[in-house]
Structure 1
């Protein structure tokens, strides 16, 4: 999955799904492939129809271009396509869904509040990725 978009400056960007690393993410690249940011997630093994988003970051030099918002929106759109329930541990995802949750659900999206088991899974995933 790779989607072409434009940022707030009108420059082309690419958003892709990267599941080849220890921690999966939607990535945003600029300027012909320069990685600018990631929206990291984990798919709980006990719930194949859920995706827990836990960290979104855009490199400082690419700030102000709306890249984090593009990442969040594309990740949520892809979650609808894949019929996944989003679990927003990441504050950026949580804020977006608090503000636009009704619209997201109207488009076919599903989300729920994080549970302690989600937080434990994120912690374990991050720790294991550090060991890899």
Structure 2
């Protein structure tokens, strides 16, 4: 998931930087740096920037966005849904279940089979993003 996140963020920002050359002036550089950080701060923002900036709207982000819930629970909640995630517990549990991850007593359950499926889906997402960016018209 971390590799997928880094790839998608870098692919977006590198593509836009190549087009706008934001480092020509200090003021453009400051504006771009703020926009770039905000663009990749959440999966939702990233999805929206792919659409707004690169005109790519036909990538399915739903699996990755649901997987981010699991990742955040594991990393920030030590395997349990975080306090923030518990505020929308039912929605988050439903999203996790939709990708084959169960939640028991607010603990995210990820076994070997799920890990294998997750790896495959992350690879597929990276390939889809790379293909869409490579084939887009400017």
Give the alignment's TM-score, normalised by structure 2.
0.33
In terms of fraction of residues, the more strand-rich structure is 1
Q: TM-score w.r.t. structure 1 length?
A: 0.34
More helix by percentage: 2
- Which protein shows a greater Rg? 2
